[in-house]
Structure 1
Amino acid sequence: MSEVIHVRCAAVLGAGVMGAQIAAHLVNAGVRAVLFELPAEGAEPNAHVQKAIERLRKLQPNPLATPEHAELIVPANYEENLEALRDCDLVIEAVAERIEIKRDLYARIAPYLTPQALVGSNTSGLSIDQLAEVLPEAIQERFCGIHFFNPPRYMRLVELTPSERTAPWVLDQLESFLTTTLGKGVIRARDTPNFIGNRIGVFALMAAMHHADRLDLPFDVVDALTGPAVGRPKSATFRTADVVGLDTLQHVVEGSTERLKDDPWVGCLKLPAWMGQLIESGALGQKTGAGVYRKVGKEIQVLDTERAEYRPARQEAAPELQEILSQADPATLLERLRRSDHPQAHFLWCIHRDTFHYAAYLLASIADNARAVDLAIRWGFGWQRGPFELWQAAGWRETAAAIQADIDAGEALAKVALPDWIHRIEAVHTAEGSYAPLDQVYRARSNLPVYQRQYFPDQVLGERPAACGGTMFETEAVRLWSLESGIAILSFKSRQHAIGGDVLDGVIEAVSIAERRCRALVLWQDSEPFSVGANLKQVVEALESEDYDGLERMLARFQQATACLREAPIPVVAGVRGMALGGGCEFLMHCDHVVAALESYIGLVETGVGLIPAGGGCKELALRAAQRAPDGDPFPFLRGYFETVAKANVAKSAREAQALGLLGSNSTVILHPDEVLHVAQQQAIALAEAGYRAPLKRPVRVAGRDGVATLKAFLVNLRSGGFISAYDYEVAARLATTLCGGEVDAGLSVSEDWLLHLEREGFMALLRNPKTRDRIVHTLKTGKPLRN
């Protein structure tokens, strides 16, 4: 099969929580989505699916890139709209996890599928082979499992599982589509119960619950032990159960029991009795307001099963455990956990041992190689390292011997020995690849063309590092380097890529070098965030010494740095993923093009610390408002920008950043964060090939004193209503004056330099106010804004 299938339209069968969110993510990616559900009685047969679409607007975290994306989902029902399937290139089934329901639905839709349509099931554990049997033979080669993890927008993992009849080209096509178009990390699984992610991840949860019960450890202590302290998400164990929903977890665990009857660990794969009692009482976790935890006012409470009541949740790991967990070396950490007599240490050793044991026993049957397991657990369950990476980091042979010793002593959860391949290798991940036990080889990464777009993909421990390019210029704050001839890449080296004086100096020098030696420049960071903005610590140090002249020089340097990006004779393209706040956003605003991953959170947040944007951000917004009204009043557009900045709003996606005007028309949104650098380089090349010239400075028509007066009247109403403080008013008034071009006639055209002057003037006036200093200090200490 040499032809490429373009997924222009996709159908999602089933408008439940997963189905509706899959449809939402399809439209996030620009794919037309038709969402099917059973018809409703009454005048509106699509009432059920319309209700599901409306629910998407209220879900948190938000499955929609912008609220308006809900309008792009087409409602449909199985009685009247099956003809719509003829326009669909991809059909994803996401109905209830009952094989008879799925089979009946497949038989119903089969006559309407085109010969080219790809078909997948979002099942989390049913047999793909059994599901394929009901489909006509012509469709079977185009059918496989496509298992999204919840929530589909945010969870990176998608498991792609073939049946015995699935054509290889179908998997290749879907893997490419899921990766680039939907931004997913695709793992190919074998058709075994619960596939890879849930098979290992749910077992790890069950093992933690089992040992917590055996050792009588309180739930909040377990969560203190099994969260970030051991490289797992904050939700840890019991909070994860609450977030997933206790009834959903029960369905996953009990629903797979029949298929796992030959699993040596099957006796441990059951929920504790107290959880069953919670489910019966309707306490299902976060969605019902109570589960293992509940919130009463501002207090988080946790269930005490002995007293059958809730108590304040505040317990932490024992001091002895905190000291052990501070060990940076995994080998030392696991060795100390194993040898300690403390029950909390014993608990942690046991849950690691049993997860390692389980993963090793299953690897050959559930996955092609160990990399698939580790990435599935990282992408699907949020672990920093997968089980095989942790094992290898702790010492492969030593840890294997310790696990086997516990098995022989009857202390492990199952009596089965470690598989023989464990003892034949020194490491599961090497520079050559990851171990594939069936073939007894180290398997390299996929060579599908889609992965050539990822210069720095997620790597597993022991894998050969990606090429880091040739350095052209480097300081302690920045690095200018190159992967492709003629294209320079500028990256910050500061913590969280904060922008201080050293970064500004480095940027100015790096741009000068790139201008002399390269065709184009790409601004990109090697890790998230893109930038948290100005280095507030440096600002506080200058304030404490009352070095206002130094601060004003730094501010002028900031404006010089952003200006050199705008005025460079070569195209400058930014690639962003993660947060781009304050000054980070201003850097983006001065680039010729921005390539942003969907999960980019962009905002001018300076008012939160009592300041206004002064790195050219206000000037750029005034300019954009004028460009949107070339012959008219810029104020209608300026007002929206003002509200966004005054409230320190941060866009919840790159699409929302476009809607708010923080990303301009010269921006491209892509879904996969690891493809940002590739696309940014291609955009830079295209601009250079087109004979790029830096934009000419033009006069800017401003709203003037009329605009300032209107915005101040708006602020007076907010102040009178108690919605903002007196100092909020003062900060926002400075912002209004700057955005509107100052106290000049409405419609007057001013220079960009005048707007930059207003920025500096407003910024420095606020910086001299003690209330701004208090806001900055409070934010540095707490990470939260101060409303003084």
Structure 2
Amino acid sequence: MSNKLLVRRAAVLGAGVMGAQIAAHLTNAGVDTVLFDLPAKEGDPNGVVQKAIANLGKLSPAPLASKSLGERLVAANYETGLEQLRGCDLIIEAIAERMDWKQDLYKKIAPFVADTTVLASNTSGLGINKLAEVLPEELRHRFCGVHFFNPPRYMHLAELIPAKTTDAAVLEGLETFLVTTLGKGVVIAKDTPNFIGNRIGVFSMLAAMHHTEQFGLGFDTVDALTGPAVGRPKSATYRTADVVGLDTMAHVIKTMADTLPDDPWHPYFKAPKWLAALIEKGALGQKTGTGIYTKRGKDILVLDLKAQDYRASAGELDAEVAALLKERDPAKKFAALRASAHPQAKFLWACFRDTFHYSAFHLESIADTARDVDLAIRWGYGWSMGPFETWQAAGWKQVADWIAEDIVAGSAMSSAPLPNWVFDGRDGVHNTEGSYSPCRNSKVPRSANPVYARQRYPDALLGEKFSQGRSVFENDGVRMWVDEGDDIAVVGFKTKMNTVSDAVLDGLQEAIARAEKDFAGLVIGQQKEPFSAGADLAGALGALQAGKLAEFEAMVANFQATSQRIKYAQVPVVAAVRGLALGGGCEFQMHAARTVFSLESYVGLVEAGVGLLPAGGGLKEFAVRASEAAGPGGDVFAQLKTAFESVAMGKVSASAVEAKELKLARDSDGIVFNAFELLHVAKAQARALAESGYRPPLPARRIQVAGEVGIATFKMMLVNMLEGYFISKHDYEIATRIATVMCGGEVDRGSLVDEEWLLKLEREHFVALAQMPKTQERIAHMLKTGKPLRN
């Protein structure tokens, strides 16, 4: 029997912050979704939900992959809408964290739940077995917990929590759905308060708060210490609390205090006095505009407990501690942290020590393996390494001895002993065989659920090695590889941010030649993000400033030749795009036989920002597509408008769905929700094209263009913007040239041109812009600051 969960329709109960965003993400994934809440007191009974749906379009970061998707959500209420539950294959309950409310709702909906429907509670910490008690017998084996992290579209982690009664096949089906359809990283947690992510993550924040006071540090200093300097997000500790909401933070701490009375660290499960005082004043963090941090004008101020007031936020790392954190070898870094007398270093050692101690002590009760803890913290809290990986990298035995010494000395937060398995002679918890499980006292490999066979390069933990395939060809810019017995090769870039250099251009052309000779198809894609941040600007600017115009022109011509080589390859070339695909990176995927995007693809032709226009065949491709879409004698100009705005304004899509709306992607391109499955899907697409008798398109020799009339119409729009001071004179110059190329130059409307004509136009206008001082200022500014200059 297959454990497939077919979700034709889903329901989300509760249209609060989480419920509405979970419903939004289900809709992003093409699942027909009904969102429920209480009936409105007046007017339309679905008013509460309609308001929540309208609000989705205003949130940032956006829960919807495109604003238009909000219209697909169906609004319902618990009084008149329960009949709609009968057609749902999956019901996710996401109402407020109150056991009695949740149980009452379950009793109410039970008669409407079909006999194959899976019911899951998105609780962040209530007991799953306790929730299951009120369910009718026949529903219990189809009930479990599923805990999404906020915001659900972007946070990779989803914790799955089986009840004692949950059927293994139901769990496996739901896991597969979460991984592939919703793109999540799933960790199976035991039914303990706050599960894995928040149990360890919130503890690490409580430890940081405790040690902040102990070592007399400012909140901003602690954020400087616990952010990117130690491989964690910029929001670090206190900014994270502000973002989460100080009231929510206090609620989670209280839940820990109430539900974990026997935890050896229980005395620390209380909100600090200053936190309670802020909440009482209504300063709840980001949502109220003031919390631990506040903004005055453009300045960010931080709460100073000594002065009982806000002061300018400096958050300086001491130079000696900053230098110590730059040490590459984790063993040396931890030894130096522990040996240092500096309060900032002592603070960091104490935070790591107590988080390691807590994680090891509770591992057996909260998770099956150490892998589950590390992945939960990486995916739910954005740490580059989980607690066990960090400990193992720093030298397992040595760090274990130090923690034990601190426990004996009474300097650790708790006197609870480390579990015996920590000292059984091991060098860590992860290796090539798997990750340690205290309950089984053995190493456990990754899940055997077939869904994971789709991940060619899963998120690797310390000590995990995945085959890099057999190298077919390699130069300074690219590496082409293939898996044994596979007929689809992959070529990935090796440059910083996967930018396009001469070596990348030459390498791609060579890879295509080899694919044509020896393989059925080729995928252009990287193991990690980004796909490509575009052309190598530093190299281009160097050639220009040195006055090597011929060399510069040759580089542009080579770029175009590479794009054309992708388009006209004799085998299908499929682009696998995730993260940034800017400038030349975007143009490469435009020329591929097909592109497969990860949902979080940020695609744009952003050359205008550095005073240039796209000249890797992108503008030519828009002209070709407009001509094809308009048909003989049709209105080409109408087909160009959206693409022109996208390029002239340097728009970058906020999702792959939006890339299609901006005309930077084709309607036929695929979208994959789990970025770790992207390579698998792209290879499957290349194979499908090859198997179905792929031939490249015939050369486009009769492209109908918008000509002078099109250019003049675009110019009218631009003049209005210039006169309204929306764009600068140089912006006008760039945009006019973009319009000129896209419209096929100063020719009659409806004239027929070929690709070579359009490519020549691209090159001429690109080289002309590149020689202008204002453009060179823009490029230099971008290289120096990373931000566009509007001159």
Q: TM-score, normalised by structure 1?
A: 0.99
Q: 1:746 aligns with which of 744, 749, 769?
A: 749
Give the letter aligned to residue 674 of structure 1.
F
Match of 2:662 in 1: 660
Alpha-carbon displacement from aligned partner over 1:196-251 (angstroms, at most 9, x marks no partner): 00000000001001100111100110000000001111000000001111111111
Give the letter aligned to residue 746 of structure 1.
R
Match of 2:5 in 1: 5
Does 2:734 correspond to 1:731? yes
Alpha-carbon displacement from aligned partner over 1:364-408 (angstroms, at most 9, x marks no partner): 000000000000000000000000000000111100000000000
Match of 1:584 in 2: 585
- How far 1:646 moved relative to its partner? 0.6
Alpha-carbon displacement from aligned partner over 1:509-556 (angstroms, at most 9, x marks no partner): 111111111111111112110000000010111122011111100000
Match of 2:769 in 1: 766
Q: 1:682 aligns with which of 677, 684, 687?
A: 684
SS of residue matched to 2:515: helix
Moved over 4 A (4+): none
SS of residue matched to 1:595: strand
Give the letter aligned to residue 252 of structure 1.
V
Alpha-carbon displacement from aligned partner over 1:175-205 (angstroms, at most 9, x marks no partner): 0000000000000000001000000000000
Q: What are the residue-to-residue correspondences of 1:125-140 with 2, within 5 Å?
A: 125-140=125-140
- How far 1:3 moved relative to its partner? 5.3
Match of 2:382 in 1: 382
Counterpart-to-counterpart distance in 1, 2:446 and 2:126 = 28
Match of 1:481 in 2: 481
Counterpart-to-counterpart distance in 1, 2:5 and 2:231 = 39
Is residue 505–residue 559 contact of structure 2 (8 Å, CA) maintained in 1? yes
Match of 1:440 in 2: 441
SS of residue matched to 2:257: coil
Is residue 15–residue 52 contact of structure 2 (8 Å, CA) maintained in 1? yes
Is residue 519–residue 688 contact of structure 1 (8 Å, CA) maintained in 2? yes
SS of residue matched to 1:712: helix
Residue range with higher mean Cα deviation, 600-609 or 625-634: 625-634
- How far 1:315 moved relative to its partner? 2.6
Give the letter aligned to residue 713 of structure 2.
T
SS of residue matched to 1:257: helix
Counterpart-to-counterpart distance in 2, 1:142 and 1:71 = 30
Match of 1:112 in 2: 112
Match of 2:22 in 1: 22
Counterpart-to-counterpart distance in 2, 1:530 and 1:204 = 34
Alpha-carbon displacement from aligned partner over 1:594-629 (angstroms, at most 9, x marks no partner): 111000100000000000010000011111122221
- How far 1:255 moved relative to its partner? 2.2
Match of 1:294 in 2: 294
Match of 1:622 in 2: 623
- How far 1:665 moved relative to its partner? 2.6
- CA 1:3–1:158 in 2, change beyond 3 Å: closer, same or farther? closer
SS of residue matched to 1:435: strand
Match of 2:193 in 1: 193
Match of 1:691 in 2: 693
Q: TM-score, normalised by structure 2?
A: 0.99
Give the letter aligned to residue 192 of structure 2.
T
Counterpart-to-counterpart distance in 2, 1:471 and 1:426 = 32
Alpha-carbon displacement from aligned partner over 1:455-511 (angstroms, at most 9, x marks no partner): 100111112x11111111111111111125221111111111100111111111111
Q: What are the residue-to-residue correspondences of 1:708-719 with 2, within 5 Å?
A: 708-719=711-722
- How far 1:4 moved relative to its partner? 2.4
Counterpart-to-counterpart distance in 2, 1:250 and 1:634 = 59
Is residue 256–residue 269 contact of structure 2 (8 Å, CA) maintained in 1? no
Match of 1:516 in 2: 517
Match of 1:491 in 2: 492
Counterpart-to-counterpart distance in 2, 1:2 and 1:553 = 57
Match of 1:145 in 2: 145
Match of 1:720 in 2: 723
Match of 1:311 in 2: 311
Please, which runs of 5 or more residues in structure 1 have no aligned partner? none
Match of 1:670 in 2: 672
- How far 1:41 moved relative to its partner? 1.9
Q: What are the residue-to-residue correspondences of 1:55-454 with 2, within 5 Å?
A: 55-424=55-424, 425-454=426-455
Match of 1:538 in 2: 539
Match of 1:569 in 2: 570
Is residue 197–residue 380 contact of structure 1 (8 Å, CA) maintained in 2? yes
Counterpart-to-counterpart distance in 2, 1:358 and 1:598 = 36
- How far 1:2 moved relative to its partner? 3.0
Q: 1:650 aligns with which of 636, 649, 652?
A: 652
Give the letter aligned to residue 567 of structure 2.
R
Give the letter aligned to residue 90 of structure 1.
L
SS of residue matched to 1:115: coil
Give the letter aligned to residue 91 of structure 1.
I
SS of residue matched to 1:256: helix
Q: 1:787 aligns with which of 782, 785, 790?
A: 790
Alpha-carbon displacement from aligned partner over 1:47-66 (angstroms, at most 9, x marks no partner): 11111011111111111100
Match of 1:610 in 2: 611
Alpha-carbon displacement from aligned partner over 1:551-599 (angstroms, at most 9, x marks no partner): 1000000000010000111111111111000000000000001111000
SS of residue matched to 2:447: coil
Counterpart-to-counterpart distance in 2, 1:610 and 1:155 = 35
Counterpart-to-counterpart distance in 1, 2:77 and 2:615 = 53
Is residue 222–residue 315 contact of structure 2 (8 Å, CA) maintained in 1? no
SS of residue matched to 1:258: helix
Counterpart-to-counterpart distance in 2, 1:589 and 1:755 = 16
Please, which runs of 5 or more residues in structure 2 have no aligned partner? none
Is residue 125–residue 256 contact of structure 1 (8 Å, CA) maintained in 2? no
Give the letter aligned to residue 42 of structure 1.
E
Number of aligned residues: 787
Counterpart-to-counterpart distance in 1, 2:227 and 2:43 = 50
Give the letter aligned to residue 631 of structure 2.
P
Q: What are the residue-to-residue correspondences of 1:451-470 with 2, within 5 Å?
A: 451-463=452-464, 465-470=465-470
Give the letter aligned to residue 712 of structure 1.
K
